[in-house]
């Protein structure tokens, strides 16, 4: 992996900011292009330690993470992310080729409060639909917090927190 890939690459767009943690350069570039084509801002890194720093210094609306990562596993990354104040509520999508959803989905959703889990190769339509739905719901939350009128959809964070009552038990 080239050195330039090791650092976070901010890409300016106009909407939801997505932090992608993927160490496979081909998959990382594919996800970046796929999400940028949908007008998302993408912060990309292959290093989960760098991802934690990026998360702490940037406005990140959604995290997409592989599980088989160097330096720190995706499991440990998500656990550390969830120990931060903002990390307690940020939606996380997991993508994995090594840990099949059939055996890890329940663990990830309960223990790590993962919003969605995709096996590699990802189902592109379902993946983009999930990202779009989360982005729309996050915009609704933002509008609600600013006192703007809401659509008929329940804000994501309220819905997500109600489905993950243990999230309030995470300590700093």
Average pLDDT, the chain: 81
Note if the pTM is more than 0.95.
no
* Residue 45 · residue 54 · CB < 8 Å: yes
Question: Would you say residue 88 has pLDDT above 90?
Answer: yes
Q: Give the DSSP letter string of 71-111.
A: SS-HHHHHHHHHTSTGGGTS-EEEEESSS-HHHHHHHHHHH
Q: What are phi and psi of 39, to 5 degrees?
A: 70, 30
Question: Would you say residue 6 has pLDDT above 90?
Answer: no
Determine which helix (DSSP H) or strand (DSSP E) holds 65, and give its type and residue range. Answer: strand 62-66
Distance from C-alpha of 126 to C-alpha of 110, rounded to nearest angstrom: 21
How would residue 101 be classed by pLDDT, with cut points 50, 70 and 90? confident
Distance from C-alpha of 91 to C-alpha of 170, rounded to nearest angstrom: 15
Average pLDDT (150-164) is 43
Residues 6+ apart with CB under 8 A from 24: 46, 66
* Residue 39 · residue 75 · CB < 8 Å: no
pLDDT of residue 159: 47
Question: Would you say residue 150 has pLDDT above 50?
Answer: no
Q: What is the tally of helices (H) and strands (E) in the chain?
A: 7, 6
Q: Quick one: angle between helices 156-163 and 124-145, nearest 10?
A: 110
Please tell me whether residue 121 adopts helix, strand or coil conformation.
coil
For the segment 27-84, what is each residue's pLDDT rounded down to a tens digit? 999 999 999 999 999 999 999 999 999 999 999 999 999 999 999 999 999 999 999 9
pLDDT of residue 157: 41
How would residue 134 be classed by pLDDT, with cut points 50, 70 and 90? very high
Determine which helix (DSSP H) or strand (DSSP E) holds 29, and give its type and residue range. Answer: helix 25-37
How would residue 147 be classed by pLDDT, with cut points 50, 70 and 90? low
pLDDT of residue 46: 97
């Amino acid at each position: 992996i080239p050195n330039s890939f090791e650092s976070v690459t901010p890409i300016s767009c106009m909407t939801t900011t997505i932090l992608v943690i993927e160490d496979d350069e081909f998959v990382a570039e594919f996800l970046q292009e796929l999400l940028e084509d949908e007008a998302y801002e993408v912060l990309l890194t292959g290093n989960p330690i760098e991802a934690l720093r990026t998360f702490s210094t940037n406005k990140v609306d959604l995290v997409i993470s592989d599980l088989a990562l160097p330096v720190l596993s995706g499991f440990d990354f998500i656990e550390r992310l969830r120990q931060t104040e903002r990390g307690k509520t940020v939606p996380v999508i997991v993508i994995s080729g090594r840990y099949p959803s059939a055996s890890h989905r329940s663990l990830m959703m309960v223990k790590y409060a993962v919003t969605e889990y995709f096996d590699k190769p990802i189902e592109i339509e379902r993946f983009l639909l999930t990202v779009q739905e989360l982005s729309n719901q996050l915009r609704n939350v933002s509008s609600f917090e600013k006192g703007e009128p809401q659509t008929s959809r329940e804000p994501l964070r309220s819905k997500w927190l109600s489905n993950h009552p243990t999230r309030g038990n995470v300590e700093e």
